[in-house]
């Protein structure tokens, strides 16, 4: 019987720029070949120094205008606009943006919750696939074990309430499982069956890590999803997108 | 250490109308209090007889027109239109619809893959929350165990490639975990943190059940998500929806 198990890596403290996350993971868990190491984006952002303080941010006119519609902080809006390639939908306080990496999400991923201190904002990693690959490489080189890494964030989605955790960075894993050309048992060709397994893994890990538990790293064990996908491959190319 | 485990219920044969799914589950697995029993929509639809044959379907003019744009089968489009409350986006062969229950998905959930025979289509359950509740009640009454039930389907989503399994029916579980009013460790109020746990559970189960494995029932063990949510509560009310 195939059993998938998901468990947290305990003992990882509050993280700061330059912290050795790979070392903490290797200290906290006996990794096995083929494990998927799921890391919350905030952990990556903090060790990479992707944190800004609102003090010293000079809002643009556009940021002031958006903020005024909802009595918001124009400096926070300014940070969001700098992280965004463009605004997809605006209904203050909700600003849905396309990030520089091409992910579409609220506030371009800029978030004040679980920031290091009040007045600080955590930004998404500059290149979250590269962040995942670096961690994968370190775990291989120092731990001697070949694992996959997925970096996750909580994204809302159209039509359905609530957030689910999705993959914004990946290394060493399949991100989209393509069943194109495979057949179901009566021979019907599953011609459009692409499963976003990296997003399902991200969501599964969130069930364990929770939002307030401060458990930034979760292990998913028992899947065979070794591959070389990147989370940016999950984004729908603009020309095919019906919802931009 | 909290470990979540996910495993399939093996030994469930191809299902037909009237089959005793609860009995098959109770025969196949020793359920524990608080387990979440995740059932693929197709299994529910088949035992409920929600299957139609294309023979005998008379397409409307609208169905013929949509089908003509892509050399499609107008009878199949007709079935989709009957299941839909309205069309959200149309780019043949893609038809994104709002179902009668209010879910937004491709083809109003109508699907030919894994149908009982060629020329047959499987429809969504009429009331998938009620389907989940019936199964939950049967498992309680006959198995003596209080579990949650989630009925799942594979939905695409805007902006991100691939499908993830989501909850279209639920009983005995929290579907949206509301962290409103809770605080993160530095006191920032998480004022908009609603987590769609039922969808994350559905996706997690898909990782195990797979698409071609014909494993219609999966058990998720180790979560505490007892509650009384319904999957239809996950749908965003039209007046709040930015993407209809």
The shortest CB-CB distance from B201 to any of A179, A182, A207 is to A207
Which residue does chain B place closest to A155, by CA atoms?
B195
A94 shares contact with chain B (CB less than 8 Å): yes
Query: Of A203-217, B5-19, B36-50, which range is least confident?
Result: A203-217
**Chain B, 18-47: which have a CB under 8 Å from a chain A CB?**
none
Distance from CA of A74 to the nearest CA of B (A): 18
pLDDT at position B132 is 98
For CATH 3.90.1660.10, the residue range(s) in chain B are 51-124
- For A188, counting Cβ atoms within 10 Å of its Cβ (0-12 exposed, 13-18 middle, 19+ buried), the class is middle
Interface ipTM: 0.95
Chain A residue whose CA is closest to B117: A186
The stretch A197-209 carries a mean pLDDT of 97
SS3 assignment for chain B = CCCEEEEECCCCCCCCCCCCHHHHHHHHCCCCCCCEEEEEHHHHHHHCCCEEECCCCCCCHHHHHHHHCCCCCHHHHHHHHHHEEEEEEEECCEEEEEECCCCEEEHHHCECCCCCCCCEEECCCCCHHHHHHHHHHHHHHHHCCCCEEEEEEEEEECCEEEEEEEEEEEECECCCEECCCCECCCCCECCCCEECHHHHHHHHHHHHHCCCCCCCEEEEECCCCECCCCHHHHECCHHHCCCC
Q: What is the pTM of this model?
A: 0.95
What residues does B183 pair with on adjacent strands?
B189
Residues on chain B touching A30 (C-beta within 8 angstroms): none
Average confidence (pLDDT) over A89-107: 94
Residue of A nearest to B208 (CA): A4
pLDDT tens digits, residue range B158-204? 999 999 999 999 999 999 998 766 666 555 555 558 999 999 999 99
B139's tokens:
């498992």
What's the pLDDT score for residue A109? Answer: 97
Q: What is the pLDDT of residue A190?
A: 53
Q: Give the other-Cβ count within 10 Å of B190's Cβ.
A: 18
Whole-number Å distance between alpha carbons of A54 and A116:
13
- Asked if residue A131 lies in contact with residue A12, where contact means CB atoms within 8 angstroms, the answer is no
Is the pLDDT at B223 greater than 70? The verdict is yes
**Closest-CA distance of chain B to residue A114, Å:** 6
Interchain pair A5, B4: CB under 8 A: yes
Architecture of the domain spanning A1-48+125-235? 2-Layer Sandwich (3.30)
Residue ranges of chain B that CATH labels 3.30.1330.100:
1-48+125-238
| pLDDT at residue number B51 | 96
How far apart CA B70 and CA A18 sit, in angstroms, is 55
Which tens digit of pLDDT belongs to each residue from A113-168?
878 888 999 999 999 999 999 999 999 999 999 999 999 999 999 999 999 999 99
Residues of B in contact with A5 (CB under 8 A): 3-6
The answer to whether the CB atoms of A116 and B165 lie below 8 A apart is no
Contact A185 B114 (CB under 8 A): yes
Architecture in CATH of B1-48+125-238:
2-Layer Sandwich (3.30)
CATH topology of domain B51-124: CofE-like fold (3.90.1660)
């Amino acid at each position: 019987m195939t059993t998938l198990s998901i468990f947290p890596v305990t003992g990882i403290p509050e993280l700061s720029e330059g912290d050795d996350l790979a070392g903490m993971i290797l200290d906290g868990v006996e990794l096995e070949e083929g494990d998927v190491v799921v890391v919350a984006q905030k952990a990556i952002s903090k060790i990479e120094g992707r944190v800004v303080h609102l003090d010293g941010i000079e809002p643009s006119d556009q940021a002031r205008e958006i903020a005024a519609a909802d009595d918001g902080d124009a400096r926070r809006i300014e940070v969001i606009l700098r992280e965004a390639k463009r605004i997809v939908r605006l209904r203050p306080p909700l600003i849905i943006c396309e990030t520089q990496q091409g992910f579409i999400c609220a506030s371009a991923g800029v978030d004040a919750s679980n920031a290091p201190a009040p007045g600080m904002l955590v930004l998404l990693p500059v290149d979250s696939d590269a962040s995942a690959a670096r961690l994968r490489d370190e775990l291989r080189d120092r731990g001697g074990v070949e694992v996959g890494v997925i970096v996750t964030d909580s994204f809302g989605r159209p039509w359905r309430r609530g957030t689910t955790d999705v993959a914004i960075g990946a290394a060493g894993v399949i991100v989209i499982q393509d069943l194109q050309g495979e057949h179901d048992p009566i021979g019907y060709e599953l011609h459009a069956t692409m499963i976003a397994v990296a997003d399902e893994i991200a969501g599964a890990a969130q069930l364990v890590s929770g939002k307030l538990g401060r458990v930034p790293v979760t292990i998913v064990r028992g899947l065979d999803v070794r591959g070389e996908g990147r989370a940016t491959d999950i984004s729908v190319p603009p020309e095919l997108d019906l919802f931009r």
